[in-house]
Amino acid sequence: MFSNCGGKIKNLAKIIFWFGLIVGVLWLIVSLAQYANGREYLEYSSAYGGSSSYSILQESGDRAYTGLVGIYYSIILLASSIVTSWPLYGFGIIVAHFENDSENSGLEADTNNQIEETISTEEITHAEEAKNEHL
């Protein structure tokens, strides 16, 4: 679970980026189409006062207004996915770098322990040989 955290953070950043990009572009296309179909009726939408009674003009104006709001929010989604994914990816690189450093220092410690054990074994062997020679 806690192994390769840097790689997992980088993958999360990639997912956020691509999800935000794909959904944002699709939402932008749909919103642009919706706005383009009813932009001449925008003045009749409920947000701008509408007409005296609910009519087809007001419904078309509401659709155009919804498309306009969708355009704004899709642009916000695109920008926020880009803005949040890059620092998160950079953080993943930093974590991966520190993981590699800690693994390397752990390997060095293991190597040092093995060297010390080898030296200790050799010293004991030499000491026993020297003892046997004196006897």
3-state DSSP assignment of residue 11: helix
Give the orientation angle of helix 56-134 with respect to helix 5-38, to 10 degrees.
Answer: 170
Average pLDDT for 56-74: 89
Contact predicate 28/107, CB 8 Å:
no
For residue 114, pLDDT over 90 is answered with no
pLDDT of residue 72: 96
Contact predicate 62/46, CB 8 Å:
yes
Contact predicate 30/63, CB 8 Å:
no
Say what the pTM is: 0.65
User: Cα(2)–Cα(31) distance, rounded to whole angstroms?
Assistant: 42
For residue 61, pLDDT over 60 is answered with yes
Percent of the chain, pLDDT > 70? 73
Higher pLDDT, residue 132 or 46? 46
For residue 13, pLDDT over 80 is answered with yes
User: Cα(37)–Cα(115) distance, rounded to whole angstroms?
Assistant: 77
Average pLDDT for 94-98: 89
Average pLDDT for 65-71: 93
Q: Both tokens of residue 130?
A: 């020297």
Q: How many Cβ atoms sit within 10 Å of the Cβ of residue 50? A: 17
pLDDT of residue 24: 96
Q: How confident is the model at residue 110 (pLDDT cuts 50, 70, 90)?
A: low
